[in-house]
Chains A and B, each alone.
Chain A
Amino acid sequence: MNNINWGKYSKPIILVALVVALTVLRGTTFLSVGNIANVLWSVSVIGIMVCGTIFVFLLGGIDLSIATLCGFCAVTVVEVIHYFHDSGLGLFVGILAAIAVGALAGLFHGFIITRFGVPAFLVTFASQSIFQGLSMVVTNNKIVSCTAPAAFTAIGSVKILGFPLPIYFMILMALLSWFVLRKTVFGRYVYSVGGNATASEISGINVKRVTIICYVLSGVTTAIGGIILASMTQQAAAATGSGYTNDVITAGVIGGVSLLGGEGTVPGAIFGAVLMGLLNNGLNLLSVPSTQTGLVKGLVIIVAVAFDAMQHADQSRKKVRKVVKKTAS
């Protein structure tokens, strides 16, 4: 019994424990398709964004601008749709424009970080104000409603097999991100650069290029998140997406992604997002007063992160034992 590595199973254990607790307390309501869809829908934008931002985390970088960039991309798609008189063409051009904005923002971050050696923290901290400012200028700091074309509102709300479309986008993005990180050379480069940039450089990896691509990917997924968010709420404003930086980082950290780089997986990050969604949903279903939700959320997140830390400590101990054993022999 003592040989079982509980830390290794920490994520499924936490998830199952939470699901069991909520099932016992709110049985049929919690397990209904509608409720599960609600939980996944509520974290779909965070999930989509973390699928790209994880590349930056794995490098040991950070992107503090995702919330305001998400808002600016939402504003872009809505404004372009209005420019084309709420037409289907407007939606098509708007989506392309928003993704281009996200990619350019990522390119800008990557370029400044690699060309001038400015820490990612500072670059993205500064650019978050730029994106928010741009949103304010474009919208004149007002909320811009957008209820047409129907295809636009459908992106955030239409249901397939009882589940809203954003959930499928999240799953698709997670699969793509997982594939790139696990099955491609580029993915291995990302882990390598995040683990040790200098060693990666010496071994022939173009660290600068990898870094720039990672920031571009983060920008693109942020843009997709912004488009979906605008569709969900049928509006965009400078404040759209506010708070998402914290949510995405929290989802990543809960999911075991190391902000120092080199460690973390897409399923882990998605787990983090889903855990946050389950937690919010559970608190709502249990009618926990809003004055107490912060307290409960904080405690559960600490438990989740502690479990994950336990897993890492276990792994480190085993590695040390191995090295000691080898040295002794």
Chain B
Amino acid sequence: MKRFSTALAAVMVLTMFLSGCQIQKTVRIDPNPNLGSTSANGETAVSNKVRKDPYTADQIRIAYVAHDLGTPNNQAWLEGIQRECASWDNIQVSAFNGESSAETQVQIMGDIINQHYDAIILQCSDGTALAPSVAQAEESGIPVITLNLDADTVHSALVMAVDYDAGRMAADKMAEQLGGSGKIGIIQGVPGLHRTDNLEQGFRDTIANYSGIEIVEAQSASFEKETAITVMNSFLQSHSDLAGVFCINDAMAEGAALAAESAGKGGQLVIWGADGEKDALAMIESGQMSGTIYTNSWDEGSTAAKIALLMIGSEYSYNVLTQTPQVIMEPIVATIETVGDIAAEDRW
């Protein structure tokens, strides 16, 4: 009964807490949490969590394990986490670079668990590969909050930007800008990544509703701007009547826009990205790009930090959950008409 009360209270606090955040978010939580003390795999789990008060003198250490610290998204999340924790001198945030490798992240997770950090904020390179580490951390009493990519094990929370819906929204707006007809291409990232695969699927499923729009090309540029320039050049060579291109991330959309300009088609093609980086927003304003799906990554990082602090300060433990609670960041469809609504201080 005590566990049930604790779980219910924590879920209520979490919901109230997040509803107070500035940007709209959707919170998905287990509607009927397992009231017993069994974990997802059916085994009895005992919580090793030690409650601390992060807002007093207790020393708190939060680890942020990035997929690749060099990317704008990962940097923005880190800054969001740091901003959230900056008001308390007793909270220390340490960033670790996963170097785009699940193996490196597993190693880092092992080190963090051994050093008894108080919470981990993790962007998994691979949800399956990281699952044992996440489970180990939770069993050790360290709450794990994942960013964008879920770990294949129940854990404290997942804070994510929309993926399938982002593709859907981009497709609808792109179709509108194309007037419902035309040949388009897709510049993909690296196949096999859950988030970007979902994004592309959302785009494809939605664009299929527009009979006048034909996807004539789909090639990978490995998320790289430079490679995207080459791929876009190939698209333009193969299809002189290409009307638009959807890129799985903004860096590639920026590359596609540069290629279009170089081919003398600057501003004539409908070019979409899907992150909302500040450079992409500037290109939308200058007419080089047509749109992107903006997510406030600073707020996403800050939200993850808020949840981490909440978990640290509560008796709430992952082992009362049957599925991971999700917080979904509300996206903004940024086009030339709406990009001005995104304030300078929200551009990451």
Contacts and interface: CB of A to CB of B under 8 A. Distances in A.
Interface of A: 26, 29, 32, 34-35, 38, 41-42, 136, 141-143, 145, 157, 159, 164, 229, 232-235, 237-239, 280-281, 284-285, 287, 289-291, 293
Contact of B234 (A38, A157, A293): A38
A141 B69 contact: yes
Contacts of B234: 35, 38, 281, 284-285
Contacts of A234: 258
Nearest to A142: B75
Given A32-B237, A157-B262, A281-B230, 20 more contacts: A35-B234, A38-B233, A38-B234, A42-B230, A141-B70, A141-B75, A142-B75, A157-B261, A164-B262, A232-B226, A233-B225, A233-B258, A234-B258, A239-B70, A239-B71, A284-B219, A285-B237, A287-B217, A289-B218, A290-B220
Nearest to A132: B70
B72 interface: yes
Given A29-B237, A239-B70, A233 B75 contact: no
B72 A142 contact: yes
B282 to A, nearest CB: 8
Contacts, number: 75
A289 B219 CA distance: 7
13 contacts: A32-B237, A34-B233, A35-B233, A35-B234, A42-B230, A42-B233, A145-B279, A232-B226, A232-B229, A238-B70, A281-B234, A285-B238, A287-B219
A35 B237 CA distance: 6
B238 A136 contact: no
Contact of A143 (B72, B219, B255, B262): B72
B220 to A, nearest CB: 3
B121 interface: no
Contacts of A289: 218
Nearest to A143: B72
A56 to B, nearest CB: 24
Interface in B198-223: 217-220
Contacts of B12: none
A233 B226 CA distance: 6
A235 B230 contact: no
B188 interface: yes
A26 B235 CA distance: 13
B13 interface: no
A164 B219 CA distance: 23
Contact of A34 (B68, B237, B279): B237
B231 interface: yes
Interface of A is mostly: helix
B23 interface: no
Contacts of B238: 26, 29, 284-285
A234 B226 CA distance: 10
A46 to B, nearest CB: 11
Interface string B122-157: 000000000000000000000000000000000000
Contacts of B219: 284, 287, 290
B70 A237 contact: yes
A113 to B, nearest CB: 27
A235 B237 contact: no
Residue among B230, B236, B255 with max Cβ neighbours from chain A (10 Å)? B230
B231 to A, nearest CB: 6
A225 B343 CA distance: 37
Contacts of A239: 68, 70-71
A229 B227 CA distance: 11
Contacts of A238: 70
A159 B259 CA distance: 12
A149 to B, nearest CB: 17
B191 interface: yes
Contacts of A41: 230, 233
Contacts of B50: none
A250 to B, nearest CB: 16
B193 interface: no
Interface in B301-322: none
B251 to A, nearest CB: 8
B9 interface: no
B263 interface: yes
Contacts of B233: 34-35, 38, 41-42
Nearest to B219: A284
Contacts of A26: 238
B288 to A, nearest CB: 10
A284 B188 CA distance: 12
Contacts of B188: 290
Contacts of B220: 290, 293
Contacts of A232: 226, 229, 258
Nearest to B278: A145
Nearest to A287: B217
Nearest to A26: B238
Contacts of B258: 157, 232-234
B231 A284 contact: yes
Nearest to A239: B70
Contacts of B191: 290-291
Contacts of A157: 258, 261-262
B279 A143 contact: yes
Contacts of A141: 69-70, 75
Nearest to A277: B230
Contact of B226 (A35, A145, A229, A285): A229
B70 A136 contact: yes
A67 to B, nearest CB: 13
A298 to B, nearest CB: 16
